[in-house]
Amino acid sequence: MAIRKAEIKEIDSIIHIIKSGIIHMESKEIYQWDDSYPSREIIGQDISHGTLYASVENKIITGIIVLNDDQAREYGELNWNYVSGKQLVIHRLCVDPKYQGMGIAKSLINFAEGFARDNNYKSIRLDAFTKNKAACKLYEKVGYEKVGIVNFRKGKFFCFEKGFSNIHLVEKNIEEIKLIKPLWEQLNSIHIEKSIHFKTKYENFIFSKRMEAIYEKAQNGIIKIDMVFDSATNKYVGYCLSSIENNSGEIESIYIEKQYRKFGIGGQLMESALTWFKANGITNIQIGVVYANDETLPFYERYGFYIGNYLLKRNQYF
């Protein structure tokens, strides 16, 4: 699939996608767009300004997205987290219903984020109809945070944003795994604090012992290490450690320093791990969560992870 600027000769195809999208949304009682918006005139202006991009597969346009600096007046009513530098705004993201469910919307969003980084934007802003649950869920899944609600002609819309700073995901190999040690120890401290019945276990748990199991998995399977690097401070501030063994996947450990949370970094780590599992044909994936650390569950649920059963362990210190 390619994503490129649309041409004016393609406007009929784009309008057809939009009209099909409206019919599809209305079948789900989502009355977000109509004959007035987005109009042929608006789409023509988007194309003429060079701000409308199309996803193309086998010469067929499957979706569109508009990227520019234009912010609705109502955006000024909200307290945005990222106010310095330039903000890129996403408008009129639409995927032909015939091609929905194939990851095209996500690819268009990824394209927008790459465009933002390449053109020195500090954040992306957008709005989504509150009744369009699928769209809102997608934005949250890929790391966008709700800022507030604004009112447009068709009703209430959530406003989302995602910031870009000096943060980068860096993949490491098994020989570099010791880089995660300071972060793993911070995570273990949280486990000590949260654990109700096994505090002593975590107090006696050391990094080298935990790594023994990881090295064993590396011998029998494969390991993926993603780290979050802040080039402004020249330090690693988060990581995700994943494994594949015997056709099963596991997110072994994931952690981000507190001051770097709510920037969508956790979502990037999860997406990287899940993409890796998918590329390796792995569908059986699990995550272990310390009992009483319930505040992490909604995050994992956004990616389709739910409590399957309870595994009870006898406390050897009992």
DSSP secondary structure string for all residues of 49-86: TT-EEEEEETTEEEEEEEEES---GGGGGS--S--SSE
Identify the residue whose tokens are 């006898």.
Answer: 314
Which of 264, 313, 265, 267 has its CA nearest to residue 288?
313
C-alpha to C-alpha distances, 156 to 32, 38, 66, 132, 185, nearest whole angstrom: 10, 17, 21, 11, 44
pLDDT for 318: 54
For the CA atoms of 272, 276, 277, 281, the dihedral, rounded to the nearest 10 degrees, stands at 150
Residue burial 63-100, b: 16+ Cβ < 10 Å; e: rest:
bbbbbeeeeeeebeeeebebeeeebbbbbbbbbbeebb
Kindly provide the residue ranges of all beta strands, DSSP E only, lying in the chain, ordered along the sequence: 2-5, 52-57, 60-68, 86-95, 121-129, 145-152, 155-163, 167-172, 222-230, 235-245, 248-256, 285-287
Q: Is the peptide bond before 182 cis (omega within 30 degrees of 0)?
A: no
What is the percent of the chain with per-residue pLDDT over 70, rounded to a whole number?
A: 98
Report residue 198's pLDDT band, with 50, 70 and 90 as the boundaries: confident
Indicate the length of the chain as a whole number.
Answer: 318
Beta bridge partners of 149: 158
Element (H, E) at 276: helix 265-279
At 259, is the pLDDT very low, low, confident or very high (cuts 50, 70, 90)? confident
Tokens of 269: 């780590």
In this prediction, residue 261 carries a pLDDT of 81
Q: Specify the pLDDT at position 313.
A: 83
Q: What is the pLDDT of residue 165?
A: 67
What confidence tens digit (pLDDT) does each residue in 176-192 have?
Answer: 999 999 999 999 999 99
Residue 91: is its pLDDT beyond 80? yes
DSSP state, residue 35? S
Long-range contacts of 293-299 (CB under 8 A, 24+ apart): 293/190, 293/191, 293/194, 299/266
| Interatomic CA distance for residues 296 and 173, integer angstroms | 27
Q: Given pLDDT bands bounded at 50, 70 and 90, which one contains residue 267?
A: confident
Name the amino acid, one letter, at 28. K
Cα torsion angle, 246, 249, 250, 251, sign: positive
- For residue 307, with 0-12 CB atoms within 10 Å meaning exposed, 13-18 middle and 19 or more buried, which class applies? exposed
| Model confidence band, residue 167 (pLDDT cutoffs 50, 70, 90) | confident
300 pLDDT band, cuts 50/70/90, is very high
The stretch 250-267 carries a mean pLDDT of 88
Determine the average pLDDT of the residues in 145-159: 96
Mean pLDDT confidence for 297-317: 86
43-47, 102-106, 250-254, 289-293: least confident range: 289-293
Q: DSSP of 177-209, one letter per residue?
A: GGGGHHHHHHHHHHHHHH-SS-HHHHHS--HHH
Q: Rounded mean pLDDT of 2-16? A: 97
Residue 111: pLDDT above 90? yes
Average pLDDT, the chain: 93
Mean pLDDT of 296-317: 86
pTM more than 0.85: no
Give the pLDDT band (50/70/90) at residue 260: confident
